């Protein structure tokens, strides 16, 4: 993940995670039955390790990118193409970014962009999100992230974790809202540096840890 990610969430899926939808009473209702198949298709994309992150983007809009590793036999772009064509009745434009075929709906550089990049499915709101995967310095080299991970005791393996660079996110929030934080709120958040939450298991115990780092 890019070094300048301000928010990063990772989680693991499981094989056939939505396979039981047909047996769910909700989807026996004709009104909701149509959603069972697309949810199963989305479940195929989420079977492996997944991540969502946000970082500064074009103009005031942050870049929000989702990366999934669904497996070698799953074509993530083809699944999204099918869903978009069937339910939105639209056909994406096709271009190339760093050698990857990118399918897109958007204007002025903002919209929906998705591509298969080195065996991963990447979905983002800006083309820069496609270029950012696997290029440049990774998040683990960020001094802010390393300090937060070390202080929180973040293990090398977990069921998933959330990292938020609070200090660096505040200017982005102000830029997005085109206004400064009220003075009272600004004073309260000024000492906050970052937050980390992660989940691990120990024998028969499932542990969730939340760590807030302040100056």
Same domain, 122 and 32: yes
Q: Look up tokens 């820069």; give the residue.
A: 128
- Rounded to the nearest 5 degrees, what angle is found at the Cα of 50, between the Cα atoms of 35 and 8? 115
Residues of the domain holding 46: 13-132
Please say which residue of 132, 163, 192 terminates a domain.
132
Same domain, 125 and 148: no
The answer as to whether 51 is a domain residue is: yes
The answer as to whether 209 is a domain residue is: yes
Please say which residue of 132, 157, 183 terminates a domain.
132
Phi-psi region of 32 (alpha: psi -120 to 50; beta: other; left: phi over 0): alpha
User: CA-CA distances (angstroms) from residue 167 to 7, 18, 58, 125, 209?
Assistant: 11, 38, 20, 24, 21
Count of domains in the chain?
2
Same domain, 47 and 89: yes
The answer as to whether 48 is a domain residue is: yes
The answer as to whether 7 is a domain residue is: no
The answer as to whether 186 is a domain residue is: yes
Task: Output b/e per residue, 49-77; b: 16+ Cβ within 10 A.
Answer: ebbbbbbbbeeeebbbbbbbbbeeebebb
The answer as to whether 72 is a domain residue is: yes
85 token code pair: 């064509």
d(CA 116, CA 212): 35
Same domain, 34 and 103: yes
Please say which residue of 99, 132, 165 terminates a domain.
132
Note the pLDDT of residue 22.
Answer: 63
For residue 108, give the DSSP letter: T
Per-residue pLDDT for the chain (215 aa), expressed as one digit of tens each?
Answer: 788 899 999 998 887 777 676 677 777 777 777 777 788 888 889 888 999 999 988 777 899 999 999 877 889 999 999 999 888 888 899 998 888 899 998 877 788 999 999 889 999 999 889 988 877 788 888 899 999 999 999 988 888 899 999 998 988 888 888 888 888 888 988 999 999 999 988 777 888 999 999 98
The answer as to whether 8 is a domain residue is: no
């Amino acid at each position: 993940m890019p070094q300048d990610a301000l928010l990063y969430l990772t989680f693991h899926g499981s094989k056939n995670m939505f396979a039981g939808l047909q047996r769910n009473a909700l989807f026996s209702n004709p009104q909701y039955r149509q959603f069972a198949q697309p949810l199963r298709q989305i479940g195929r994309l989420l079977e492996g390790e997944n991540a969502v992150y946000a970082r500064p983007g074009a103009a005031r809009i942050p870049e929000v990118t989702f990366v999934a590793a669904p497996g070698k036999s799953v074509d993530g772009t083809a699944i999204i193409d099918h869903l978009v064509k069937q339910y939105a009745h639209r056909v994406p434009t096709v271009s190339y970014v760093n050698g990857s075929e990118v399918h897109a709906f958007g204007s002025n550089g903002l919209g929906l962009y998705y591509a298969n990049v080195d065996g991963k499915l990447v979905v983002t709101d800006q083309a820069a999100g496609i270029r950012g995967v696997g290029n440049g310095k990774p998040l683990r080299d960020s001094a802010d992230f390393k300090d937060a991970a070390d202080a929180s005791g973040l293990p090398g393996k977990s069921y998933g974790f959330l990292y938020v660079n609070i200090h660096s996110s505040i200017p982005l929030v102000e830029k997005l809202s085109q206004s400064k934080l009220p003075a009272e709120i600004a004073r309260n958040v000024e000492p906050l540096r970052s937050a980390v939450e992660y989940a691990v298991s120990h024998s028969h115990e499932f542990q969730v840890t939340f760590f807030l780092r302040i100056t």
